Chains A and B, each alone.
Chain A
Amino acid sequence: MERGTAERIEEPSEKCDWMGAARIAASCETFHPDEEDEQVADELLSCYNCRYRRWTAASFDCSKKKK
């Protein structure tokens, strides 16, 4: 999947997709690791660890998502 096709990946309280987030980040041209303190996935390459993910109440959105 490419950047922009990742819509919402639920966080653990609802539904998590750690593997999906890793898969998306691995092929994302704009992935940029957030500071260590903000990373929540063990694998570095994950949307969960990306500087451009913006947490929402239920999940997160990608700030680089194509409009």
Chain B
Amino acid sequence: MRVLISIDDTDNLESPGTGALASRIASDLEKNIWGKCGFITRHQLLIHPDIPYTSHNSSMCFSAEIADIYLEKVIKHASEFLARESAAESDPGLCVAVIDHLSEPDELILFGQTAKQSVLTKESAYELARRAGVHLSEHGGTGQGVIGALAGAGLRLSGNDGRLKGQLTFDEPAGVVSVAALRARNDIDEVRTLDGSAVTNRDMVRLGEKVKTVLLGGKSVLLVIAADSASDGAPWQTCPRQLLKRY
């Protein structure tokens, strides 16, 4: 079965971030041979005075392919992990959604999209989790993180939100690579332009110092923009981080 595991509100200014904890949960899942994990995505939620958050109010989510018999083990492990590893003052939440068992996938997606624009309540999160048939639990503090955890699962399910955790590494940093070579990588599903212009496999792309992909259409997409004048003949360059901030 394919599951989404989403966590939120696990850190403080001095502790490891939520992304680091998501990586460790994913790593544990694979070490225990419970399943195989996909990439981790970061989902930006609403910044609002009525919402408690450490510094950026983002949740982290990853997919995993696990055998049915391990679902409860995964939930138990992630729950205990968050209770143990989250920062003392944090309000961690955990969502585990079995994609094929979701009874209200559209509502879950809508919840995630709404969490980017409106202040939501724990009650509404638990109510939807019950109707949608997803696991939602809190593991310390006020448990406010359940809102972001559920929203993160919804946004990941939408396939069109967030940046992938981690940056891509290349043998030739700041070099020039063909679109075909980029598309051949395991960590890039597609190469697209920011404005929707077509790119061909023969086109060359100049790599920036930090290269990241975003989640679009359920895929890991590398966005490129028209290269500036010092392009070494490459018509495209990877998106600067400033432009990825909106994802």
Contact = CB atoms under 8 A, between A and B. Distances in A.
Query: In the complex, which of the residues B19, B58, B244, B245 has the most CB atoms of chain A within 10 Å of its own CB atom?
Result: B245
B210 interface: yes
Interface in B28-61: 42, 47-49, 54-58
A35 B17 contact: yes
Interface stretch (B107-115, B134-142, B160-168, B216-224): B160-168
A34 B13 CA distance: 9
A50 to B, nearest CB: 9
B241 A52 contact: no
Interface residues of A, number: 21
Interface of A: 11-12, 16, 18, 34-42, 51-57, 63
A15 to B, nearest CB: 13
Interface string B233-247: 000000011101110
A38 to B, nearest CB: 6
Contacts of A16: 242
- From DSSP, what is the main secondary structure of chain A's interface residues? loop
A25 to B, nearest CB: 15
A36 B55 contact: no
A42 B163 contact: no
B244 A38 contact: no
18 contacts: A34-B17, A34-B55, A35-B16, A35-B19, A35-B20, A36-B165, A36-B167, A37-B42, A37-B166, A38-B56, A38-B58, A39-B210, A40-B244, A42-B208, A42-B240, A52-B55, A57-B47, A63-B55
A24 B80 CA distance: 41
B19 to A, nearest CB: 5
B85 interface: no
Q: Which 6 residue pairs of A and B lie closest in terms of their CB atoms, listed nearest first?
A: A40-B245, A35-B17, A37-B19, A54-B55, A42-B241, A37-B165
Nearest to B164: A37
A54 to B, nearest CB: 5
Contacts of B19: 35, 37-38
A51 to B, nearest CB: 6
